[in-house]
Structure 1
Amino acid sequence: MTSVKPTPLLPEFSLANKVILVSGGARGLGLTQAEGLLEAGATVYALDRLPEPSADFARVATRAKELGVAIHYRQIDVRDEAKLEETIQKIGTDHGGVDGLIAAAGIQQETPAIEYNAADCSRMFDINVTGVFMTAKAVAKEMIKAGKGGSIVLIASMSGTVANRGLLCAAYNASKSAVIQLARNLASEWGQHKIRVNTISPGYIVTAMVEDLFVKFPERKESWPAENMLGRLSKPEEYRGAAVFLLSEASSFMTGADLRIDGGHCAW
């Protein structure tokens, strides 16, 4: 008797044979997103300015081999437009195109607005806005060249929608608001090429950086969870499904939208 291989359930969520880039993919949320993409079947290129990725990258690479896929690392600062374009063009040439992007590279700086200086402000926007823009542009060029379309996901923040109570980060919040608006405009321009552009706006995420912040500001460990409807903070793993959704055919009619995942923080 010949066995029949069952049809995969919800095949529209599959990323098999897709090549996806993740900027800021050496650690934290970016690396966690990358692992989710691997599990959905994608080949992933992690881009980051670190000379070497975090120690957890090796575990993810081992996991990729077990799944029969691969994750590659490329050191690149998103502010280096020439090298960024060269790196992404090489990936596109090697694979016959690029299918997706998660632009997760970004920085945070907490400083009272009255004390902010122009140099710090420029650095914030250079990385969080211009760097995201140039990364998306370089990927879109490869998508247009290949003629297959694709999906681009920019990591914004709930801080692009509201001012965080007790958190003094005017430049950061402005940069994330800019990312949301940037995505809408890129979606409007690139839709004709079958390129979709959306954003994910996370709420407060417990990362190593946030844990260090709680040592300095222990009151935030209590106040932040109380500000959303679920009464807790999120984990990086809780955003993997959203990334797979937006990069797969499951979201084929979704573009120019912001997927806010904040535990209801902004819905009060």
Structure 2
Amino acid sequence: MSGWGLTARLLGKHFEVVGNKLSETIASWDPETATEADRDRLQATLMETAQKLASARASFDKEHDDVEKLRTMIANDEKVATSLGDRLAAGSISESAVSKFCDELEAEKSRLPQEIQEESDAKEYMGQLQQVVDAFSKSLAEFDAQAKKNLQALASAQSQKDLQGLRIERQEELDGLKGIAGHSSAMAALTRKAQEVSNQAAGMRIVADINQKPIDDAQELDSIRKSVAIGATTESVVDRLKRLSAKPDQQTAQ
């Protein structure tokens, strides 16, 4: 049996360590849920202790009420005892009745210290539970404050992470655009196409200039012919007078 007891203790200790490690692992995976679980456990402990405190208060109230009732009973019986001597002397009451009354009064007085002790114990237990409840209440408030602070810090850190992620994404997009502008096959093809079209346009201009030269030369010659013809048919006034004033033989000579 001692061997089995040792085995049970070793297994219990082993699984306790495993449970703690498992809890730590889960907490690292989902700290928000782990925090809620810790708070629920603390809240449950507080509620359980608070219920014990309520029961302790009821017990103290009962013990205190018993003490007060017993004290009142003793005080009333002591008043009665002062008149029993006269009644016993007058023969209005028997000695046995007085003796029984005295036994009960003595029993009440002997029971009073025990009742007071029970009241004191109940009060002390209630006070201790009240301290525990106050401690748990303080711990829960501190836990909530710290959890709120940690969650805010986590949210702030997450926001910063998201912001930096967006910045990196934007930088990568800009770098990608630069890469596209410098190394994109489509962009290179577009550049080549533009150069090709430009070369085609230049070639067509050369051909057009070659074809245009004969036309320009012909127009130039035609212009010369027209100017010469116009010059030959044009007669100045002096020449006209000479022609008209000349004699027939002179016109023939001319």
| TM-score of the pair, normalised by structure 1 | 0.17
Point out the structure with max Rg over C-alpha. 2
| TM-score of the pair, normalised by structure 2 | 0.18
By percentage of residues, which structure has more helix? 2
By percentage of residues, which structure has more strand? 1
